[in-house]
């Protein structure tokens, strides 16, 4: 294997220019999917690489539970500087596991708290909360079954009376589909938006729910924790997911300028979403860029950019880098399994 075993650890550096070009030149839907897949594959490959160097580098340490044959010189020769990188891989791998576990736990906790806060409200698509703080976000399905339905007798923790869906703009009249998410919005935000801007808000949040953008955001959050070099992809996907929903809202409402005004108005007063893995109209990010994009022409819809363009070369380079990283990880893993199997006595 040699030095190529370390390749998946550094290949995520190539994602930086790819993220920049993709969010600028690709359709938001294509960019979101491409960058999410890229982040997931590169994060998985780098984690496999850490596991391999940890096994080889620590097999010769006294008191380890690994078979004695795994510390043979031919096994250790498969990884350069095995003893140093093996010891360094232990805390690195522990940090990756702890960071990903914490991100998953926080994601689940925020989702459960959000669903519990809606207990006692009618089981409609839009939940209007009587809150003086302006915010809105798309809440994916989850939590205990029936925990946010009608007839449960629940109440909000702040003692406010449950909303009945008769807030400004009469927004909560539609029942949810089976297994669908909900749009959470407060009366404070609705009072600050005009009727056309409210329609843009709900179209935007429905786009988040329909495309399950929470899954894309959670994937890139985990990838960025597995390998810090992937943080630009996390930022880029957070932006392109919002742009995806912006374009869907503009298509539904029929006015790009109305959606741009709604984003600007909500961003001035809203506090954003309760977690980075949830999406909303005023989610933290480059709001001026989103508004500028909506005031311009709609992006061209294409599944893959032309090869002989800057973004096309970046996309093909990202695909090639991902394939090289995956093949390097697979080759290293298979080679290591064969070496360890040969070194392990029957």
C-alpha–C-alpha distance, residues 222 and 202, integer Å: 28
Task: Find how far residue 183's CA is from the centre of its chain.
Answer: 19
User: Is 283 strand, coil or helix?
Assistant: coil
Q: Which two tokens stand for residue 249?
A: 């809202």
Question: In this structure, are residues 31 and 299 in contact, taking their beta carbons and an 8 Å threshold?
Answer: no
Question: In this structure, are residues 254 and 198 in contact, taking their beta carbons and an 8 Å threshold?
Answer: no
C-alpha–C-alpha distance, residues 145 and 254, integer Å: 36
User: Is 298 strand, coil or helix?
Assistant: coil
User: Smallest Cα–Cα separation from 39: which of 240, 203, 176?
Assistant: 240
The neighbouring-strand residues paired with 138 are 183, 279
Question: In this structure, are residues 201 and 264 in contact, taking their beta carbons and an 8 Å threshold?
Answer: no
The neighbouring-strand residues paired with 184 are 127, 137
The low-confidence residues of the chain, meaning pLDDT below 70, are 1-5, 57-83, 143-179, 284-285, 302-308, 310-311, 314-315, 318, 321-322, 325-326, 328-329, 331-346
- For the chain, give every domain's residue range: 2-150+159-296+307-343
Could you write out the DSSP letters of every residue in 40-91?
HHHHHHHHHHHHHHHHHHHTTSTT-SS-GGGGSHHHHTTSTTHHHHHHHHHH
- In this prediction, residue 343 carries a pLDDT of 54
pTM exceeds 0.85, yes or no: no
- In this prediction, residue 266 carries a pLDDT of 87
C-alpha–C-alpha distance, residues 6 and 155, integer Å: 54
Task: Find how far residue 195's CA is from the centre of its chain.
Answer: 31
- In this prediction, residue 336 carries a pLDDT of 59
Residue in the structure block whose two tokens are 């409402």: 253
The neighbouring-strand residues paired with 137 are 184
Burial status of residue 297 (CB atoms within 10 A of its CB: 0-12, 13-18, 19 or more): exposed
Question: In this structure, are residues 199 and 261 in contact, taking their beta carbons and an 8 Å threshold?
Answer: no
- In this prediction, residue 146 carries a pLDDT of 40
- In this prediction, residue 223 carries a pLDDT of 94
- In this prediction, residue 144 carries a pLDDT of 46
- Give the length of the chain: 346
- In this prediction, residue 125 carries a pLDDT of 87
User: Smallest Cα–Cα separation from 205: which of 180, 189, 184, 179?
Assistant: 184
Q: Which two tokens stand for residue 209?
A: 């729910």
> What are the strands, taking DSSP E only, across the chain?
126-129, 136-139, 182-186
- In this prediction, residue 78 carries a pLDDT of 59
Torsion angles phi and psi, residue 126, rounded to 5: -110, 125
Could you write out the DSSP letters of every residue in 300-318?
P--SS--TTSHHHHHHHHH
């Amino acid at each position: 294997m040699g030095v190529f075993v370390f390749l998946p650890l550094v290949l995520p550096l190539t994602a930086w220019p790819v993220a920049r070009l993709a969010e600028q030149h690709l359709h938001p839907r294509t960019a979101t999917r491409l960058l999410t897949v890229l982040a997931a594959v590169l994060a998985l490959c780098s984690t496999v690489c850490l596991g391999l160097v940890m096994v080889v580098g620590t097999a010769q340490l006294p008191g380890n539970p690994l078979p004695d044959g795994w510390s043979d010189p031919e096994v250790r020769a498969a990884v350069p500087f095995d003893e140093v990188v093996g010891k360094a891989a232990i805390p690195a791998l522990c940090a990756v596991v702890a960071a990903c576990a914490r991100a998953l736990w926080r994601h689940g906790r925020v989702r459960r708290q959000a669903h519990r806060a809606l207990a006692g409200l009618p089981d409609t698509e839009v939940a209007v909360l009587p809150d003086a703080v302006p915010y809105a976000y798309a809440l994916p399905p989850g939590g205990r079954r029936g925990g946010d339905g009608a007839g449960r007798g629940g109440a909000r923790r702040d003692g406010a009376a449950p909303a009945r869906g008769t807030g400004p703009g009469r927004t909560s009249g539609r029942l949810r589909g089976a297994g669908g998410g909900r749009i959470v919005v407060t009366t404070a935000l609705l009072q600050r938006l005009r009727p056309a801007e409210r329609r843009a808000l709900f179209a935007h949040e429905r786009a988040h729910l329909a495309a399950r953008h929470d899954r894309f955001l959670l994937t890139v959050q985990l990838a960025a924790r597995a390998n810090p070099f992937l943080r630009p992809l996390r930022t880029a996907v957070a932006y392109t997911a919002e742009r995806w929903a912006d374009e869907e809202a503009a298509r539904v409402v029929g006015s790009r300028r109305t959606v741009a005004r709604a984003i600007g108005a909500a961003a001035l007063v809203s506090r954003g979403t309760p977690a980075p893995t949830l999406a909303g109209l005023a989610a933290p990010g480059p709001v001026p860029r989103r508004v500028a994009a909506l005031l311009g022409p709609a992006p061209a819809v294409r599944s893959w950019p032309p090869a002989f363009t800057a973004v096309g070369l970046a996309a093909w380079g990202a695909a090639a880098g991902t394939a090289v990283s995956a093949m390097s990880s697979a080759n290293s893993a298979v080679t290591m399994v064969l070496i360890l199997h040969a070194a392990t006595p029957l």
